[in-house]
Amino acid sequence: MSGFFLFNKQIMLSLYFHIPFCNHKCFYCDFYSLGKFNKNQEDAFTESLLIEIDLSAKKYYKNQKIETIFFGGGTPSVLSVYNFNKIADKIKQSFDLSNLIEWTMEANPESITKERLENYLQNGVNRLSIGAQSFNNDELIFLERIHNSDEIKEKYYLSRESGFENISLDLIFSLPKQSRENWLNSLNSVFELDPEHISAYSLIFEEKTKLYNQFQKGLILPNDPDFEHDLYIETIELMEKNGLYQYEISNYSKIGKECKHNLNYWYGTDYLSFGPSAHSFIENKRFWNYRSLKKYNELLSQKIIPEENFEIINTEMSLTEAIYLQLRSKGIFLEEFKAKFDIDLLNLVNMKLEYLFHKHLNVENNILRFTPEGYSISDEITLKIMEVIE
């Protein structure tokens, strides 16, 4: 990350598209998506999305250069080539993509096809994020994923052969009863594939999921926190040994292959989002769409932007978010931070939290960042830092 990146955030914009369909609803997932859908629903959603792009662009777009595009969800790779092309054409007509550096598609193995991959590339998609989650078939069944380990590898190689030079794989660790060996096996399988980027999230028991329900009934229990901590620290070490450096609490990449779109979120670039449940952030206003495809379609058929609510981010909130998000990522760029908030953060931390240095925090090139141990208890340390500022 350079000062240049931060300096340019005012004139750049990122776009996010939430595709609310999956081939199956996984039992741990709390993202807004339908686990079953038909062609009519997909076509109706596509038509609504095209209208939303028109309306939102008119209201919010000020001819900024689009720096990154991200298709998430849900499973964007379930969209037919026909519908994807309609959306891509609309994006190209509506926004200035002349400075686009990254266009990511999230994809699940079962819906990756040669035809889709080639079509993505033709449209300018240059990054693929594949939801692998595990290379252990029993774990994949437990997670209710509908692919197996061989299919991940097969679709990964197909993506490479089709021409994708920037691929990320998502993994989940600390599954209930997961042994250290099983997790290391999954990690080694992913290292063998040699992707540019890996996301490794610990399993979260999100409320309103089937997983949470089973947890409440005592049928599934989370791992011991010490076991999870040790897995996490070992993961960071192994990633580094394999040429993937940690640039966020759960994200690792080869040098220069960080997800630019997510960095834009964490370092405060404006983003405009589309689709049910999608959140946008434009000129200190955060606003979000209804989390209902029905409502989304209904409003857009009347040419109404399906915004459910908004909040204005004042300086105090902006300060809190900057500390929280930047520490979780590459760290706080102290000079930029001082210029923006008029706070000498390093001085404050030195005076009151000096004991955190080395084990949990360090400063290099004027960037305050977590060590691996710091990442492992990030909320606790962030809270302490907030307290010295107040």
- Which residues between 46 and 85 bind ligand SF4 (CB under 6 A)? 73-75
Q: Name the pairing type of β-strands 12-19 and 271-274.
A: parallel
Q: Of 27 and 245, which CB lies nearer to ligand SF4 in the complex structure?
A: 27
Least distance to ligand SF4, CB of residue 21, Å: 8
Q: Of 22 and 171, which CB lies nearer to ligand SF4 in the complex structure?
A: 22
Least distance to ligand SF4, CB of residue 325, Å: 22
> Considering the rule CB under 6 A, would residue 131 count as an interface residue with ligand SF4?
yes
Least distance to ligand SF4, CB of residue 71, Å: 12
Least distance to ligand SF4, CB of residue 67, Å: 25
> Considering the rule CB under 6 A, would residue 37 count as an interface residue with ligand SF4?
no
Q: Of 22 and 220, which CB lies nearer to ligand SF4 in the complex structure?
A: 22
Q: Of 33 and 166, which CB lies nearer to ligand SF4 in the complex structure?
A: 33
Q: Of 12 and 140, which CB lies nearer to ligand SF4 in the complex structure?
A: 140
Q: Name the residue number minimizing CB distance to ligand SF4.
A: 29
- Which residues between 11 and 30 bind ligand SF4 (CB under 6 A)? 22, 25-26, 29
In the list 5, 8, 11, 31, the residue contacting ligand SF4 (rule: CB under 6 A) is: 31
Q: Of 152 and 236, which CB lies nearer to ligand SF4 in the complex structure?
A: 152
Least distance to ligand SF4, CB of residue 242, Å: 25
- Which residues between 154 and 213 bind ligand SF4 (CB under 6 A)? none
- Which residues between 217 and 246 bind ligand SF4 (CB under 6 A)? none
CA 335 – CA 326 distance, rounded (Å): 13
How many residues touch ligand SF4 under the rule CB under 6 A: the total is 11
> Considering the rule CB under 6 A, would residue 33 count as an interface residue with ligand SF4?
yes
User: Which backbone phi and psi does 157 adopt, to 5 degrees?
Assistant: -65, -35
Least distance to ligand SF4, CB of residue 143, Å: 8
Q: Which residues contact ligand SF4 by CB under 6 A?
A: 22, 25-26, 29, 31, 33, 73-75, 108, 131
